[in-house]
Structure 1
Amino acid sequence: MSWLPPDDEDDDAFGFDESDVRIRPNPKGTRPRTKTRPDHGDAVVGRVLSVDRGRYTVMADEDGAEERVITTTRARELRREAIVTGDRVDVVGDTTGEEGTLARIVRIRPRTTLLRRSADDTDQVERVIVANADQLMIVIAAADPEPRARLVDRYLVAAYDAGIAPLIVVTKTDLADPGPFLANFAALDVPVVRSARGAWPLAELAPILDGHTTVAVGHSGVGKSTLVNALVPGTDRAVGVVNAVTGRGRHTSSSTVSLRVPTGGWIIDTPGVRSFGLGHIDPANVLRAFTDLAEVAADCPRGCTHLADAPDCALDEAVASGRLRADRVDDFRRLLSSLAG
């Protein structure tokens, strides 16, 4: 026989009456809400070194007498804003940096630059990689894996779009001569640093990095994180090898981290990638990454798309006269077509 609850008139049998009913208080409270927020005048300024699952490692009082690394979370009012490596932020709460303490980021300071990418050229959603960098160090290998001109072009487009000065570092020069590949960018006035046989070009890179915040990017397996480990001893960034079958590098570094270079400046190591989407960039800005072509394109008719089917395009005339290389113009047009389509 199943049990049935008693009727209302039988509540007395369980000893219940109206006084046993609890009234739930108003969960929102009775105090009126206000848009006034504290100004956090006592906030500490810091540099975001890394981001990991809602926790932000921040260096406070940089270069000061009480320089320290603290762990923080974000304030509720910043929940819709991305906080990325390189950001300058205001931090309140326990900023001592002692083990077990947790401070709070309450404000993101104005950014000078933003390096962005998208998943692919059809994705209009931008993903911010780093903030406040003023140099982009494009690391390529002379071989194993083979360098890709179009990937370097994409890095250059992203750098010029963000207002960041690019430079190219070539590794594994003992495996192949990078000269023919670098000829693709000879007219762009981009500084190039080559590794010597069996040694990193640390002495040459030191004055270039000093006084700057440099973000390192590159195809998986080119030796980018190994170079960062050489520049900042004791960092122990994960490194990997190139797959002998596919010729592709294996993803090793999985996070973006900002590191202080002992000889001066900061370097931000990013995970290796095999593609770099530019779907968020206006195609009209692509020409800025090809300064050698931009000078010629200034003579194009108004509204010229610079594509292969564009009538009276000055780029075609320059190729026919030998002023521009056909492969260089082709690379530019392929990139432009992928963005336009």
Structure 2
Amino acid sequence: MSWLEPDDEDDDEFDESDIRVRPNPKANRPRTKRRPAHADAEIARVLGVDRGRYTVLVDEDGEHEREATAARARELRRAPIVTGDRVRTVGDTSGDDGTLARIVGIEPRTTLLRRSADDTDQVERVIVANADQMLVVVAAADPEPRERLVDRYLIAALDAGIRPLLVVTKTDLADPADFLSHFDGIDLEVFTSGRGEMPIGRIGAALVGRSTVFVGHSGVGKSTLVNALVPTADRATGHVNEVTGRGRHTSSSTVSLRYRGSGGTGWVIDTPGVRSFGLGHVDPANILRAFTDLDEIAEDCPRGCTHLPDAPDCAIVEAVAEGRLGPTGVSRLDSLQRLLATFATR
């Protein structure tokens, strides 16, 4: 038989049903991105984060207030969840040993305190959510206070719409008057403390009914202050290196602690000590808005006015020179310009 001739024994017609089709698991997955409504979710406050697990407070101030451990739902894997967040939780929220709840949503935030890795980094890093006060802790000496670092804290607070407070510790080692004079023009409540003299009552009164984030350079006494305000906090304290003049990092994570005082309760949010605070994410317009009287006058400034000393036809500079802002006008303008200059040279 020629190889061109058909083979009668193998001339059966081809049948597609003879082919074995492998199942495709992806084809069976639903294409919708709709998620369950979780109508039974409970609102909880995030107290801290540790290696992908969140300590949350369920039924805050309620009859069944309790702490529970939770993990984030898969649909939130790209969303930052930070201390201070109000989240929606489902699953086992009893808080019993070995139980794990699940975070399925984040409630709208009122404020976000952010910083960038450096001044050129436009990627913001959320530190705390829903804080309404920032308490900046500095030492009068050992280590020496850094005006520019405090300026950066203030800029970040003003950008976030958070009220700043200032505590100067170790005033028994040095007089902080010269340092504090740099902030005369800012609406800033200041507390001072030295050895044996810590105004816990006054500071505590400012915390009642508020969520206050504590920030400060390592070694300034921030953890000592937190422990005095919240005796159960047990935050580690350190010392300043005699050679470098720098403090040792003691707080390694951000946690929310409940303050209980004679006037009521509040939240103390302790953060790790930092030596730098990038401002790459800040909108400079928010700095001026914090100086409400100067912001109104700025409406008469030329477009693009920097409000710095060399700015031509600046309405604020002219108003201060003419004495229209009273005795505090000079100091307030100086404070504004210093903050704007710090931001401009970032």
Aligned to 1:173: 171
1:152 aligns with 2:150: yes
* Unpaired stretches in structure 1, ≥5 consecutive residues: 1-21
Q: Deviations over 1:44-89 (max 9, x none)?
A: 1110000112111101111122111111100011111000000001
Give % identity: 69
SS at structure 2 position matched to 1:57:
strand
Secondary structure in structure 2 of the residue aligned to 1:188:
coil
Q: Is the 8 A contact 1:134 1:212 kept in 2?
A: yes
Match of 1:276 in 2: 277
Instruction: Decide which of 329, 338, 345 is 1:331's aligned counterpart.
Output: 338
Partner of 1:16: none
- 2:103 and 2:254 map into 1 onto residues whose CA distance is 19
Residue 299 of structure 1 deviates from its aligned partner by 5.2
Deviation at 1:184, TM superposition (A): 1.4
Q: Please name the residue that 2:98 is paired with.
A: 100
Equivalent residues of 1:241, 1:250 under 8 A apart: yes
RMSD: 2.5
Aligned to 1:89: 87
CA separation of 1:250 and 1:296: change in aligned 2, threshold 3 A: farther
Deviation at 1:313, TM superposition (A): 3.6
Q: Write the mapping of 1:197-216 to structure 2, written as runs, cut at 5 A.
A: 197-216=195-214
One-letter amino acid matched to 1:338: T
Q: In the alignment, which residue of structure 2 is the partner of 1:26?
A: 24
Alignment partners' CA distance in 2, 1:23 and 1:74: 38
Q: Partner amino acid for 2:42?
A: V
* 1:289 to partner: Cα distance: 4.7
Q: Give yes or no for contact 2:287–2:340 (8 Å, CA) kept in 1.
A: no
**How far apart are residue 131 of structure 1 and its match?**
0.4
Return the alpha-carbon distance in structure 2 between the equivalents of residues 289 and 274 of structure 1. Answer: 25
Size of the aligned set, in residue pairs, is 318
**Residues 204 and 170 (structure 1), Cα distance of their counterparts in 2 relative to 1, 3 Å cut:** same
Question: 1:178-223 CA deviation, whole Å, 9 max, x = no partner?
Answer: 1221111122121111115423211111211111111001111111
Write out aligned runs for 1:234-313 (5 A).
Answer: 234-263=232-261, 264-289=265-290, 294=295, 297=298, 300-313=301-314
- Give distance in 2, aligned partners of 1:146 and 1:290: 28
Following superposition, the deviation at residue 296 of structure 1 comes to 6.5
Amino acid at match of 1:239: T
Gaps of 5+ in 2: 1-19
**Judging changes above 3 Å, is the alpha-carbon distance between structure 1 residues 56 and 134 closer, same or farther for their aligned structure 2 residues?**
same
Change in Cα spacing, 1:38 to 1:144, as seen in structure 2 (3 Å) is same
Distance 1:296 1:224 in 2: 38
Contact 1:243-1:249 within 8 A present in 2 as well? yes
Deviation of 1:142 after TM superposition, in Å, equals: 1.1
Change (3 A) 1:297 1:92: same
Q: Which residue of 1 aligns with 2:77?
A: 79
Q: Secondary structure at the match of 1:152?
A: helix
User: Which residue of structure 2 aligns with residue 12 of structure 1?
Assistant: none
Q: Is the 8 A contact 1:156 1:289 kept in 2?
A: no
For 1:228 and 1:164, the matched residues in 2 are separated by 20
Deviations 1:106-138 (A, max 9, x none): 010111111111111111000000001111111
Map 1:1-40; keep pairs closer than 5 Å.
25-28=23-26, 30=28, 32-40=30-38
Q: Partners of 2:292 and 2:186 in 1: how far apart?
A: 6
